Chain A
């Protein structure tokens, strides 16, 4: 046998299919345990009800609504996501499956699969929360297309940064506290642009209004993904 014929190198499935295998495992595990779904959903619902009860749709001046609504929406989304997204790696360490996975799967497949899972979780959270937010807070949007694009870009950006930070903190004790501490500086610039983009979509029907913020979010997401591609194998194996 030569190095060229190593069985380990004979990969019958592509990286994408290995990543989808990881994603499928995450989905099946989550649907059976429902830990992340419950924590994210309950956090989002509780926060939304508390905010809606205190502020409601009519206690803010009409001019200020887009500013405040945009900020509140992303604050709720970010902190709800923070309660469930780090679990993708933390649960592997807690359940002692991380070592088994580390030996079996390529780091890129693990990262991509878990990123896709977090993305789906965030998009699901947005699909659940945004209509409720619109109803409870009287949130109106002038450019629905731009708003959906901002939500999608925000979902990808938050999923990318959360997955990367989750991988870093998974082996530390007090990982949930550490997650917020590490995620905030990474996510804060993204949140600023997401709030700006949401406000633009809410106030202006013109597509060009939300574009600069959208571009900034996508750029930050791109930088996070590229950095993660280099960083993750080191974090995962060391």
Chain B
């Protein structure tokens, strides 16, 4: 299992358009990247106020952990930060070198793994990854995608099986691979180690430590081991 190879391999964005430059993430500075600033976020579902007055920043090179009891709005806040849900009040800004990004630019730089974000069950793990990289406009070689899945703990024999036949832990690994395949600038993870065994949890911790050097990471969790990953911890009240 090539689990130690993660940090040795750097995804590069291969460009088939001749007019476009080839950019490797290795050329980027260690803490250069996208900042997410959110201010006074409130969210109401009908009469129920789920979030109120939540303010914070996710910075490149740091892990922001969002914690709080069930129903405190962790997943809602992640959805708002990802741009998938509009807040009732407050603002979220995605900044790169002080310049605000549009939603489509932001989506390209974002990797999300959440319990309510599935991959296609009829497709194999490899087909899923090929699909998600291609719709993101990336022409990544199949060997790299196979390697990517193996780094996340999937056996070579499992790569071509429909993910509908996978266990929940294996499925979680495919979802993590999908979130990481385009080497995102901001990584948003909701309960990332749910369904993972202890080896999977260790792998995730290693992966996050490596990723957090290069991008902003936002994790929503109640697991004390995951809370310990945070450079900043934002605790939401019930």
Chain A residues at the B interface, C-beta cutoff of 8 Å: 1-3, 5-13, 17-18, 21-22, 25, 28-29, 32-33, 95-97, 99-106, 109, 237-238
Residue on A nearest B131 in the bound complex, by CB: A25
**Alpha-carbon gap, A21 to B137, bound state (A):** 10
**Alpha-carbon gap, A2 to B97, bound state (A):** 7
CB pair B120 A10 closer than 8 Å: no
Dominant secondary structure of chain A at its interface with chain B: helix
Residue on B nearest A102 in the bound complex, by CB: B84
Known: A1-B32, A25-B120, A25-B123. A9 touches B134 (CB 8 A): no
**Alpha-carbon gap, A211 to B183, bound state (A):** 53
**Alpha-carbon gap, A22 to B135, bound state (A):** 7
Q: Mark B1-29, 1 if CB is under 8 A from A, else 0.
A: 00000000000011111001101010011
Q: With an 8 A cutoff between CB atoms, is B104 at the interface?
A: yes
Q: List 8 A-B contacts (CB under 8 A).
A: A7-B182, A10-B137, A12-B20, A22-B135, A25-B131, A32-B122, A95-B121, A102-B84
CB pair B20 A99 closer than 8 Å: no
Residue on A nearest B17 in the bound complex, by CB: A12
**Alpha-carbon gap, A104 to B183, bound state (A):** 13
**A contact residues around B105 at 8 Å (CB):** 3, 6, 8-9
Stretch at the interface among B109-117, B199-207, B224-232: B109-117
Dominant secondary structure of chain B at its interface with chain A: loop
**B contact residues around A96 at 8 Å (CB):** 116-118
Known: A3-B96, A28-B122, A32-B122. A104 touches B14 (CB 8 A): no
Q: With an 8 A cutoff between CB atoms, is B119 at the interface?
A: yes
- Which residue in A9, A22, A33 is a CB contact (below 8 Å) of B108? A9
CB pair B138 A12 closer than 8 Å: yes
CB pair A100 B132 closer than 8 Å: yes
CB pair A12 B16 closer than 8 Å: yes
Residue on B nearest A107 in the bound complex, by CB: B104
Q: With an 8 A cutoff between CB atoms, is B44 at the interface?
A: no
CB pair A7 B108 closer than 8 Å: yes
CB pair B14 A12 closer than 8 Å: yes
Q: With an 8 A cutoff between CB atoms, is B103 at the interface?
A: yes
Q: Mark B164-194, 1 if CB is under 8 A from A, else 0.
A: 0000000000000010001101000000000
CB pair B97 A100 closer than 8 Å: no
- Which residue in B14, B122, B137 is a CB contact (below 8 Å) of A29? B122
B133 to chain A minimum Cβ distance, whole angstroms, is 9
Residue on A nearest B135 in the bound complex, by CB: A105
CB pair B25 A104 closer than 8 Å: no
**Alpha-carbon gap, A3 to B117, bound state (A):** 28
- Which residue in B13, B84, B139 is a CB contact (below 8 Å) of A103? B84
Given contacts A3-B96, A96-B117, 10 further A-B contacts (CB under 8 A): A6-B105, A10-B21, A12-B14, A12-B137, A18-B134, A95-B121, A97-B120, A103-B82, A103-B107, A237-B103
B111 to chain A minimum Cβ distance, whole angstroms, is 8
CB pair B178 A100 closer than 8 Å: yes
Q: With an 8 A cutoff between CB atoms, is B89 at the interface?
A: no
**Alpha-carbon gap, A10 to B15, bound state (A):** 7
**Alpha-carbon gap, A145 to B82, bound state (A):** 52
**B contact residues around A25 at 8 Å (CB):** 120, 123, 131
**B contact residues around A95 at 8 Å (CB):** 118, 120-121
Known: A1-B28, A97-B119. A8 touches B112 (CB 8 A): no
Q: Mark B64-99, 1 if CB is under 8 A from A, else 0.
A: 000000000000000000101010000000001101
A106 to chain B minimum Cβ distance, whole angstroms, is 7
CB pair A13 B118 closer than 8 Å: no
**Alpha-carbon gap, A18 to B112, bound state (A):** 20
**A contact residues around B121 at 8 Å (CB):** 95
Q: With an 8 A cutoff between CB atoms, is B155 at the interface?
A: no
**A contact residues around B118 at 8 Å (CB):** 95-97, 100
**B contact residues around A106 at 8 Å (CB):** 104, 135
CB pair B99 A3 closer than 8 Å: yes
